[in-house]
Amino acid sequence: MIQRKILSRKILEFEINEYVRENLKGAGLSNVKLQITPLGEKIIVAASRPGLVVGRKGQYIRKLTNTLKKKFNMENPQIEIAEVQDPNLDAKIVAERIANTLERFGVNRFKGIGHKTMEDVMSAGARGVEIIISGKVPSSRAKRWRFYQGYLKKCGDVAVSYVREAFIQAHLKTGTIGIQVRIMTNDVRLPDDIRMIDGTVEEASDVKASPAVAEPVEEKQEARAEEAKPKRKRKTKKAKKNEDKGPKVDADEGAGKQAE
């Protein structure tokens, strides 16, 4: 059941995205997201020209709301418009701009359009950009023209996750032209980009380190020599008393010796 709900929600989001892009051409649409809220469905439309999405006095918004109710069976759709800060760094907006220019001026100026768009993207702060225009340009035989500048990852996880990519078709009298745009912004951190952080180690103020005491080497050697000396046996108190008294002499024997 959960998988079916997720799939149905993604299919609904894709259909809404396609419908909004077809009916709001020229508004510079970046993406359309669908969110389910307790009050109903919330649709977030990110565009570089939000005024064209709203219309005069909100007529386009009301028309889009009524269409979403009838066509997609939504009870209370709420449309929120968000403005894209850097349209030159959005691959979908750049590709749509190239397609509109080719449909307006034709394929004779495709080189100038490609180089001008590439310079605008790089001046906006991109690290690398690639524009591929394929189709009957400018002759009747199909060709593939590539405009590139800067550094751009073409494989690996960085190319899949961080490189912005878009593909749009431009319909001309000579046929359909495919436009593919890849942009890698300057804030992408590459795996081989290693940066050394300069900083000083600060001691904690709460912990007080004990002051180091320098002892002279001679005192240490003397202390070791005293420890290495053999310990003498201490005399007991009785032995000391006997030595102080000396040999005992009788009084009678001493008096007889004096008389002689």
Express each pLDDT in 183-206 by its tens digit. Answer: 999 888 888 777 777 755 454 444
**d(Cα 133, Cα 120) in Å, to the nearest integer?**
17
Question: What 3-state class would DSSP assign to 84?
Answer: coil
94-139 residue pLDDT tens:
999 999 899 888 888 888 999 999 999 999 989 999 999 999 888 7
Task: Compute the CA torsion angle 51, 57, 61, 65 (nearest 10 deg).
Answer: 180
Asked whether the beta carbons of 140 and 171 are under 8 A apart, the reply is no
Q: In the chain, what are the domain boundaries?
A: 2-84, 88-185
Q: Residue 260 has what pLDDT?
A: 44
Is the pLDDT confidence value at 61 over 70? yes
Token pair 């080719």 is found at 102
203-251 residue pLDDT tens:
444 444 444 444 444 555 555 656 655 656 565 666 655 655 555 544 4
pTM (2 decimals)? 0.67
Report, at the CATH architecture level, how domain 88-185 is classified. 2-Layer Sandwich (3.30)
Residue type, 203: E
Q: What share of the chain is helix, strand, coil (3-state, %, to 5)?
A: 40, 25, 35
Sign of CA dihedral 49, 54, 56, 59: positive
Which runs of consecutive H residues, i.e. helices, occur in 135-236?
157-161, 217-228
Query: What is 2-84's CATH number?
Result: 3.30.300.20
